[in-house]
Structure 1
Amino acid sequence: MNRLSAAALLGALLALPVAPTFAAEREPYGIGLEGFAYPYPVNMLPLVNDGEQLRMAYMDVAPAQPNGRSVVLLHGRNFPSSYWAPVIKTLTDAGYRVVVPDQIGFGKSSKQQGDLHFDNLARNTVALLDHLKIAKADIVAHSMGSMLGVRIARAYPDRVDHLVLTAPIGLEDYRLYVPPTPTEKIIENEDKLTAEGYRKQLEINYALKLPPDQVTPFIDARFNIKGSAEYPRWLHAFVASAQLIYREPVVHEIPLITQPTLFVMGADDHNAPGRPNAPEALRPKMGHNADLAKALAAQMPNGRAEVIPDTGHLVFLEAPAKYDELLLGFLRSHQ
């Protein structure tokens, strides 16, 4: 065993509060999540962003009895698109074709060298629709993916039938509360985070109601990558998404969306990216997400907000029956 792999193994042993025999069996994932299983076959779409050759991973899941409509699922920042598996089944059972991309910089897609921009991610997603010959789709998005969903709906209104924003972030302009944070500082903080620290971060920030075994795959997807020789490149790409959320607010565009839009909020979800870096006096003003969604929906020509009690940020996993009822009812009522 060379010095590098020995150090990686030691790091894994120290980071995991489990028996060494189990820890030794953990194989590092590649930065394209090689080794991490997705629920459906994954395809790749070649793209060029800012002169860089990239590949966008996606799942394209056909229903047994098509209803002629397509749904695009947009993932959040801290999750691979595989976490949409229950929603994919719900939608395909109802007759929808479901397209589930990993955005550039995430999951099994390429990790870019430069910054991320919502305009690029929106163009990439529309390029995927073009590739699949889908003229118009319903967009169902979660967390950071909802910020992207807003950008797509505004930039390409003729490509979006309906918009479902699931526990969205970006319902406020974080620049009003949080001072700019150097990329190097965010990289430093992310790099020293442990697996157990990350679990606690998810539990606190997202008010998770899930049992620990359901959270473990998210921990694995984040921390098994640390064993990859390309981990520094993955880390840079991941941190670029934190700066994306901060630098490119979409809240000012939300009232301008004309498509029928449904916010599905967890009542206990007070996630507010960057809040620890805000002045202490401003932190309590951030993250009132359910109230923000209701206020924004009231400003929209076709907006509606639903709040699910006793639910946090992962609302579609924590309250699946109620979420599915709201989702399908909304899509069907606007056919």
Structure 2
Amino acid sequence: MKVFQCIFVLGLQLLAFVSAISSEAIITQDIPFDLNGFNYTYQWPVNIYQFSSQNNQTLQMAFMDIKPTCAPNGKTAVFIHGKNFCSQTWNATAIAMAEAGYRVILVDQVGFCKSSKPQSYQFTFQGLSKNLLGLLTTIGVNDITLVGHSFGGNTAARFALLYPWMVKELVLSDALGLENYIGEGVPYPDTDYVLATERQNTYTAIRGYEQSNYYPNMTWQPEYDVWVNMLVDIYGGSQAKEYTWCQALITDTVLTGPVVYELPNLKMPTLVLIGENDPVAIGKAWAPVAVQAKLGKWSVFAPEAAASIPNSTFISFPGQGHAPQISDTLAYNAALLGWLDTH
């Protein structure tokens, strides 16, 4: 009888394990136009990685899978966007990578853009990394060049630390987490305070933020409006309430998840890219004046962070802000592909 009970219990455990696996699926057809509250048109077809996470919530992670447009080199490049970005903002670099023979995967992280916006969710860089691992495993990718920008740079660094066997080359582009904001004196905010600021994101507010942070000392160009309007669409979309709450929680993730102290543990070749005039510092707006003066000195702390990585290269783009991949695309792509050619 005891043997039967053991077999029965093991059978139930196996069934639960198989069920968990079968709950993961890739959806490539009948994708809603207004996907998870975002009806912005992406450049390539959108697929969905559907999976279960955190108390059996069914979540969707949108991604684009782009084939090489010339002779394939057998490599896959995965790009992770920043907090005020979506996977589509990588389009110009994705085209260049595909032309160089790469398969390119562009992902929308959970809580962003065309992916699910769960209202009861613990956002951590570890959890977001596990979501990405699930996607890559499900589509059969296990050897990647990983590129992350801003918030996505912090995610990429954490992913590389957790799953180093997956990452052949790591690229950290104006990556958050290279500076410890709370450690520098930024007061830890109540999430409702951050939520209130998220609700104030109109066209005027978003354009003002992007002008000062992405294009410092540059004349505003009409093409910059593309990325402003992209955010306006989602902040005013059918899941605006859900999105702003996720973004408030994600700010908490940035403040509590710096990766700078673990950079020496990165063993793969790593490229650190920054805009020399990048002023971004999360929490600077509500920090005391004396603390504000210390924050966002990318030309100081970024090369120091890069130097702590055993096998790293540091490249700075003069005159550029927080997003050189969109403010100086040609120089950015040349630097990225040039470095990759050496590895």
TM-score clears 0.5: yes
Partner of 2:130: 123
2:192 partner letter: E
Partner SS for 1:285: coil
CA deviations over 1:91-115 (Å, ceiling 9, x no partner): 0000000001100001100101123
More displaced stretch, 218-227 vs 162-171? 218-227
Measured in 2, the distance between the counterparts of 1:61 and 1:254 equals: 30
Aligned equivalents of 1:144, 1:327: Cα separation in 2: 19
- Shifted more, 323-332 versus 71-80: the winner is 323-332
In the alignment, is residue 105 of structure 1 matched against residue 114 of structure 2? no
Q: Partners of 1:230 and 1:109 in 2: how far apart? A: 11
Shift of 1:140: 1.0
Tell me the alpha carbon deviations over residues 186-223 of structure 1, each in whole angstroms, 9 at most, x when there is no partner: 11122133320221122123344474422323222222
> Per the alignment, do residues 108 and 88 of structure 1 end up closer, same or farther by CA in structure 2, a change over 3 Å counting?
same
Aligned in 2, Cα 1:317/1:193: closer, same or farther, shift over 3 Å? closer
Q: Which moved more, 1:244-253 or 1:199-208?
A: 199-208
Can you give the 5+ residue segments of structure 1 that lack an aligned partner in the other structure?
1-28
Question: Equivalent of 2:42, from 17, 33, 38?
Answer: 38
CA contact (8 A) 1:61 1:98 kept: yes
| Equivalence for 1:217 | 226
Distance, in Å, in 1 between the alignment partners of 2:37 and 2:221 is 21
- Mapped to 1, the partners of 2:43 and 2:210 lie a distance apart of 23
Q: Is the 8 Å Cα contact of residues 271 and 312 (structure 2) preserved in structure 1?
A: yes
1:47-86 matched pairs, under 5 angstroms: 47-51=51-55, 52-64=57-69, 65-86=71-92
- 2:186 maps to 1:178: yes
Aligned AA (1:67)? N
Equivalent-residue separation in structure 2 for 1:80 and 1:135 (angstroms): 23
Q: What is the TM-score normalised by the length of structure 2?
A: 0.85
Counterpart mapping for 1:170-249 below 5 A = 170-176=177-183, 177-208=185-216, 209=218, 211-249=220-258
**In 2, distance between residues paired with 1:91 and 1:33?**
29
Matches within 5 A, 1:147-166: 147-166=154-173
Aligned to 2:299: 290
Counterpart of 2:326 in structure 1 is 317
Partner Cα separation in structure 2 for residue 109 and residue 172 of structure 1 = 28
Q: What does residue 144 of structure 2 align with?
A: 137
Return the alpha-carbon distance in structure 2 between the equivalents of residues 69 and 216 of structure 1: 33
Please, which runs of 5 or more residues in structure 2 have no aligned partner?
A: 1-32
Other-structure match for 2:30: none
State the structure with more CA Rg.
Answer: 2
> Could you tell me which residue of structure 2 aligns to residue 5 of structure 1?
none
Alpha-carbon shift at residue 239 of structure 1 (Å): 1.3
Asked if 2 retains the 8 angstrom alpha-carbon contact of 1:262 and 1:304, the reply is yes
Change (3 A) 1:30 1:178: farther
Q: Distance in 2 between matches of 1:162 and 1:124?
A: 20
| Identical residues among aligned pairs (%) | 31
Distance in 2, Cα, partners of 1:93 & 1:67: 10
Q: Deviation at 1:244?
A: 0.8
- Give the distance between the partners of 1:226 and 1:159, measured in 2 at CA: 34
TM-score normalized by the length of structure 1: 0.87
Checking the alignment, whether the CA contact within 8 Å between 2:271 and 2:313 is kept in structure 1 is yes
| 1:33, distance to aligned residue in structure 2 (A) | 4.9
Greater displacement, 211-220 / 156-165: 211-220
| Alignment: residue pair count | 306
Question: Cα distance, 1:49 vs. partner?
Answer: 2.1
Task: Determine the C-alpha separation between the residues in 1 that align with 2:235 and 2:136.
Answer: 33
What SS does the corresponding residue of 1:185 show, helix, strand or coil? helix
- How far apart in 1 are the matches of 2:310 and 2:36? 40
Q: 1:304 pairs with 303, 313, 332, which one?
A: 313
* 1:214 match: secondary structure: helix
For residues 277 and 310 of structure 2, what CA distance do their matches in structure 1 show? Answer: 27
Preserved CA contact (<8 Å) 1:263 1:306: yes
- Residue 253 of structure 1: SS of its match in structure 2? helix
1:153-175 C-alpha deviation (Å, 9 max, x unpaired): 10000000001111222211111
The separation in 2 between residues aligned to 1:183 and 1:109, in whole angstroms, is 22
The structure showing larger relative contact order (alpha-carbon pairs under 8 Å, at least 6 residues apart) is: 1
Aligned to 2:273, which of 264, 288, 294?
Answer: 264
Q: Deviations over 1:92-146 (max 9, x none)?
A: 0000000011000011001011231111110111111111211110001111110
Q: RMSD in angstroms over aligned alpha carbons?
A: 1.7
Displacement of 1:237: 1.1
User: 2:125 and 2:219 mapped to 1: Cα distance?
Assistant: 30
